[in-house]
Structure 1
Amino acid sequence: MEEETETEEEKMLKRQRRERKELQARIQGMKNAVPKNDKKRRKQLIEDVARLEAEMDERHQQEVEQLKLEISKQVEVESLANGSEKLAFEDSEKPAQHSRPTKAQKRRDKKAALDKEREVRIAEAEIENLSGVRHLENQKLGNLLDGRGLQIKQIPSDGHCMYRAIEDQLKERGHILTLAQLRSQTAQYMQSHVDDFLPFLINSNTGDIYTPEAFEKYCDDIVNTPAWGGQLELRALSHILQTPIEVVQADSSPIVVGEEYSSKPIVLVYMRHAYGLGEHYNSVEPIKDRTETG
């Protein structure tokens, strides 16, 4: 009897489930390390947990999309090959000799059946998503922004989304600050105001406040990697730009940092369920084909 082998999809899903369990165990350890009455550290813990979950969800989603693309290309190639074989059979004067299926042919047949099953599951998931959290979040945000004459402007989900959204807002105001400049200035500001930021950075493994060396590494990552931005970076940017930054959310009131500044706020949209239940920031723009007055 031929041994059953795992498909690439099955291997990937099994690995992702294992990684998610390992992350949950790590998160539980982080929670146990922070006293419940320490509000500052608990607040940072929530941000750290959200960051870790978002990074994993984003990576898993990208893996799924990449695998879907590879499978789609392979199915297309096999479909073209099968079509050529069918034409060759029909044009032949003699019936083709039917031979016993080879192991390779059995594997191809099994894969084709799995591909069809996968396509059905994908279609069912898309239908289910119409009533899922992602769709509901989009509806709520759409309603909130519609009342202000705004709509979501999509920003790529690549780790730079918060900075890109701010870059987009500044560009609309005629201020040109690139992604690299925003990241560099954020790190510089945090390094020159260590006491305002260091107490809110907690080592996820030990539960201790960052050491000066770890803080420098954190700032270096802001400049040189696609590290996600959060409330600390938004606070730094509000001071750099001397502008309030408002973050619109679906399930709670907007968060505004830099309220001490009187200029028109930069408006970002925070989406918890945008990509594989991962954290993401989008920009906003006026609703098209609507005339604003006043």
Structure 2
Amino acid sequence: MEEEEGGGGGSEEAALLGQHRREKKELQAKIQSMKNSVPKNDKKRRKQLNEDVAKLESELEERHKLELLSLSQKQSTDTEEKKAALEKERDERIAEAEIENLSGARHVESQKLSLILSQRQLQIRHIPSDGHCMYRAIEHQLKERNNNVTLTSLRHQTADYMQSHADDFLPFLTNSTTGEMYTQGERDIYVLWFKLQHLES
């Protein structure tokens, strides 16, 4: 249904542009007729004719601009109304989900976990999902224990461990295209890529 409405907006604009083209052609025909009716040697009437032509062209151009602007504003308003309706619907769904979650298993589990953590004077710490979150979480915990290991160091240690225990990781290193396990060369490239990821953050 939204596609039809969106398509309708496009067809409205196309229709308006088509109408504008017709009106320009009609005006040109009218101007030509006006020019033909005034003798070329009648300078006074020719001057007046040129002024009238300029006025007609200017008025038509101005009207076309206003019509396009009006259509654009209408489409913009329609889009904003649709967006507002979608946002309202989304907010309602979120509110419903939050109400359901209060009695859901996940919420109950979260409450239990929070209670256990608070009894141990611990808390859940949010780590941004940036491709390094596992390492950042480990880094954070190690820093809490005065171990200043870095993300880069953790990545290198992990890559070195994976390389020295390749057989343990082979089942998990597969070519996403073929589904086959990595060859030695592919595995080496992966481990190198794995080590260098910190450079892109």
Which protein has the bigger strand share?
1
For 1:134-173, list aligned pairs within 5 A: 134-146=106-118, 148-173=120-145
- State the shift of 1:146 in Å: 4.5
The 1:220/1:128 distance shift into structure 2, 3 A limit, reads farther
Instruction: Give the match's secondary structure for 2:123.
Output: strand
- State the shift of 1:219 in Å: 1.4
**Amino acid aligned to 1:122:** I
Q: Deviations over 1:30-55 (max 9, x none)?
A: xxxxxxxxxxxxxxxxxxxxxxxxxx
Instruction: Give the match's secondary structure for 2:6.
Output: coil
1-structure distance, mates of 2:134, 2:75: 51
For 1:206-245, list aligned pairs within 5 A: 206-225=178-197
- Name the structure 2 match of 1:184: 156
Size of the alignment, in residue pairs? 133
Instruction: Give the match's secondary structure for 2:5.
Output: coil
The 1:164/1:127 distance shift into structure 2, 3 A limit, reads same
Q: CA RMSD in A?
A: 3.3
Residue 114 (structure 1) aligned with residue 90 (structure 2) = no
**Amino acid aligned to 1:5:** G
1-structure distance, mates of 2:183, 2:112: 41
TM-score (norm 1): 0.37
Q: 1:201 aligns with which of 173, 184, 190?
A: 173
Greater Rg by CA: 2
Structure 1: segments with no counterpart, 5+ residues: 7-98, 227-294
Residue 5 (structure 1) aligned with residue 6 (structure 2) = yes
- State the shift of 1:222 in Å: 2.2
2-structure distance, mates of 1:221, 1:140: 40
- Name the structure 2 match of 1:246: none
2-structure distance, mates of 1:163, 1:124: 35
**Amino acid aligned to 1:217:** I
The 1:212/1:104 distance shift into structure 2, 3 A limit, reads same
TM-score (norm 2): 0.52
For 1:32-43, list aligned pairs within 5 A: none
Quick one: percent identity of the two aligned structures?
59
- State the shift of 1:112 in Å: 2.8
1-structure distance, mates of 2:83, 2:163: 54
1-structure distance, mates of 2:197, 2:106: 28
For 1:39-118, list aligned pairs within 5 A: 102-118=74-90
- State the shift of 1:172 in Å: 1.4
- State the shift of 1:207 in Å: 4.4
**Amino acid aligned to 2:166:** V
